[in-house]
């Protein structure tokens, strides 16, 4: 009976230690408790052994309490973290932890950093032995799985007692911030391919310029290769020497991106959100335009204007665009196109290439997109970037063999009712054919929306999200070559 009381008190003590001090028994304590447990079981056959059982219990309790007193506390350790502020999406980012043992005895510890959700660490934890008054530098890498602002709040330590009966969980407050930006690897690839004249490897086409560059640059002396139409006769008479005008490509033109961050961009393509694809394409085109001495701006909106970066030129503008876009995520709200275009009209007055990146899935938002883009046509050059949905196009593509099989049989009635009957030999169920018919109807409506936009004088880019970058850049280069701005 006494043994049962002791066991109950011991279990209650363990619960209090775990609750109040984050102290837990280790494997060595569980193993050591097997001896008094076995002796207690022997009391059934040999009741006279109870003095031995009590003595063993008391001895074990004293040893365990002495070992409990040897557990290190939070004041015995210090932690520091060194990490770069800016990381790239999907790329490894180095982190350095420095753990200091401020106690006077050797400490075996296990270290785990507070890696936030949305990041993975390699390796996840460390096991080290710290000598008295020493420190250890631990290095690992995190791989961000999403954009945004992440905080590492603390460092977790698990320390053991002198004889290994106990372990304690410690939390050392160390706050660090990591800003995860879109992966800019494609910008470096563009710079390399541009220097080697191999941009076709990225899907970019050579665009022949229509007409001649018409922005006056300077006057210079006439040479035999010059076109006589470029001779400036007033300057020639004044200088008494043939003088021609030099022209250059139009520079300091403006591009303004309007990126929809509402419910239309909450879908995914190739495991990445539509908004991430849109921002990657925006950054790529912005980088190309800045290299051509144009000015680039960005407006992110959902049910309100989220951020606005006015159009500017220069290499620093890429960093501004990155900072404005890195912590933008799609929201399940209805996008306010009127707020976005009102902000555009208020802050951007010069003629600009207005690139609206969004999606159309119903008549409501399609009407708003068409109305606002048509309204700015004339004052600005509107470009609508609409992202395709794989679910719609794949459903129709799967049903095409079934329809072809029925149509090839010569049965017009069967071909006209392929939506109601499964195709023989193709293996598509009625449900899939019904889904394909609904998808075909949506795509037909979508084509009408695109035709209405073109009729309103709006330039179009209609692509799958993962294939957006190259067509968008090509559309910009075409607009530059045709002097549409």
Work out the burial of residue 478: count CB atoms within 10 Å of its CB; fewer than 13 is exposed, 13-18 middle, 19 or more buried: middle
Q: pTM for the whole thing?
A: 0.65
Task: Tell me what the mean pLDDT of segment 61-83 comes to.
Answer: 82
Confidence of residue 427 (pLDDT cuts 50, 70, 90): low
Q: Are strands 215-221 and 125-130 parallel, antiparallel or unpaired?
A: unpaired
Residue range 104-127: mean pLDDT, rounded: 86
Residue 45 has pLDDT above 80, yes or no: no
Compute φ and ψ for 70, nearest 5 degrees. Answer: -85, -5
Q: How far is CA 417 from CA 394, 422, 433, in A?
A: 20, 10, 10
Residue burial 254-279, b: 16+ Cβ < 10 Å; e: rest: bbbbbbbbbbbbbbebeeebbbbbbb
Mean pLDDT, the chain, integer: 79
Average pLDDT over residues 159-165: 80
> Between residues 173 and 391, which one has the greater pLDDT?
173
Over residues 183-216, the pLDDT tens digits come to 666 555 555 454 444 455 445 555 544 445 555 6
What is the arithmetic mean of pLDDT over 127-144? 88
**Three-state SS at 121:** strand
Name the more confident of 235 and 186: 235
pLDDT value at 83 more than 70 = yes
Average pLDDT over residues 383-405: 76
Q: Residue 410: what pLDDT?
A: 46
Which residue has better confidence, 320 or 21?
A: 320
pLDDT of 249 over the 70 cut: no
> What's the mean pLDDT in 25-41?
70
- Residue 384 confidence class, pLDDT cut points 50, 70, 90: very high
pLDDT tens-place string over residues 277-321: 888 889 888 888 888 889 999 999 999 999 999 999 888 898 888
Whether pLDDT at 53 is above 80? no
- 229 burial type by CB count under 10 A (0-12 exposed, 13-18 middle, 19+ buried): exposed
Query: Distance between CA 55 and CA 40 in Å, rounded?
Result: 12
Are 453 and 384 in contact by the 8 Å Cβ rule? The answer is: yes
Nearest to 204 by CA among 482, 478, 470: 470
Distance of alpha carbon 247 from alpha carbon 324, whole angstroms: 36
pLDDT band at 109 (very low <50, low <70, confident <90, very high): confident
pLDDT for residue 412 is more than 60: no
Between CA 226 and CA 33 the distance in angstroms is 100
pLDDT (0 to 100) of residue 341: 94
- Chain CA centroid to CA 117, Å: 13
Give SS3 for 23: strand
Residue 422 is predicted with a pLDDT of 46
CA distance 109 to 97: 14
Residue 459 confidence (pLDDT) above 70: yes
Average pLDDT over residues 424-451: 78
Say which residue, 141 or 212, is predicted with more confidence. Answer: 141
Tokens of 289: 């335009």
Q: What angle, 0 to 180 degrees and rounded to 10, lies between the N-to-C axes of helices 430-455 and 390-408? A: 110
* CA–CA separation, 56 and 49 (whole Å): 11
Does residue 123 have a cis peptide bond before it, meaning omega lies within 30 degrees of 0? yes
* Three-state SS sequence of 245-271: EEEECCCCCEEEEEEECCHHHCCEECC
Average pLDDT over every residue of 245-255: 72
Lowest-pLDDT range of 10-19, 130-139, 208-217, 386-395:
208-217
As a whole number of angstroms, the distance between CA 166 and CA 238 comes to 98
């Amino acid at each position: 009976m006494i043994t049962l009381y002791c066991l109950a008190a011991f279990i209650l003590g363990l619960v209090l230690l775990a609750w109040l001090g984050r102290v837990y028994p280790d494997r060595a304590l569980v193993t050591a408790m097997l001896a008094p447990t076995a002796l207690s079981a022997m009391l059934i056959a040999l009741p006279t052994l109870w003095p031995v059982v009590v003595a063993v219990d008391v001895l074990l309790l004293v040893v365990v309490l002495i070992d409990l007193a040897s557990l290190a506390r939070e004041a015995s350790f210090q932690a520091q973290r060194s990490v770069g502020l800016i990381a790239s999406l999907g790329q490894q980012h180095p982190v350095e932890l420095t753990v200091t043992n401020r106690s006077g005895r050797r400490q075996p510890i296990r270290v785990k950093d507070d890696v936030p959700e949305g990041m993975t660490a390699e390796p996840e934890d460390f096991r080290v032995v710290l000598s008295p008054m020493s420190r250890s530098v631990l290095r690992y890498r995190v791989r961000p799985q999403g954009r945004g602002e992440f905080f590492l709040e603390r460092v977790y330590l698990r320390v053991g007692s002198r004889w290994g009966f106990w372990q304690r969980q410690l939390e050392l407050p160390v706050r660090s911030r990591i800003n995860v930006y879109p992966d800019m690897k494609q910008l470096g690839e563009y710079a390399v391919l541009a220097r080697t004249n191999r941009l076709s490897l990225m899907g970019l086409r050579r665009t022949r310029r229509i007409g001649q560059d018409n922005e006056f640059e300077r006057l210079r002396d006439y040479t035999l290769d010059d076109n006589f139409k470029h001779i400036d006769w007033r300057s020639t008479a004044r200088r008494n020497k043939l003088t021609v005008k030099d022209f250059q490509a139009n520079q300091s033109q403006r591009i303004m991106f309007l990126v929809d961050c509402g419910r239309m961009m909450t879908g995914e393509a190739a495991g990445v959100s539509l908004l991430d694809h849109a921002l990657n394409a925006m950054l790529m085109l912005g980088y190309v335009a800045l290299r051509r001495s144009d000015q680039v701006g960005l407006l992110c909106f959902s049910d309100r204007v989220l951020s606005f970066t006015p159009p500017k030129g220069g290499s620093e503008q890429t960093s501004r665009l990155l900072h404005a876009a890195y912590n933008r995520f799609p929201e399940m709200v209805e996008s306010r196109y009127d707020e976005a275009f009102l902000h555009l009209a208020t802050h951007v007055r010069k003629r600009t290439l207005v690139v609206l990146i969004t999606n159309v899935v119903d008549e409501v938002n399609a009407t708003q997109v068409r109305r606002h883009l048509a309204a700015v046509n004339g004052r600005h050059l509107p470009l609508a970037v609409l992202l395709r949905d794989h679910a719609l196009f794949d459903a129709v593509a799967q049903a095409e063999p079934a329809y072809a099989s029925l149509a090839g049989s010569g049965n017009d009635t069967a071909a006209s009712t392929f939506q109601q009957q499964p195709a023989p030999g193709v293996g598509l169920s009625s449900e899939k054919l019904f889904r394909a018919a609904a998808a075909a109807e949506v795509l037909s409506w979508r084509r009408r929306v695109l035709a209405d936009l073109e009729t309103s004088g709006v330039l179009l880019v209609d692509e799958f999200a993962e294939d957006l970058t190259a067509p968008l850049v090509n559309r910009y280069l075409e607009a530059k070559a045709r002097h549409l701005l």
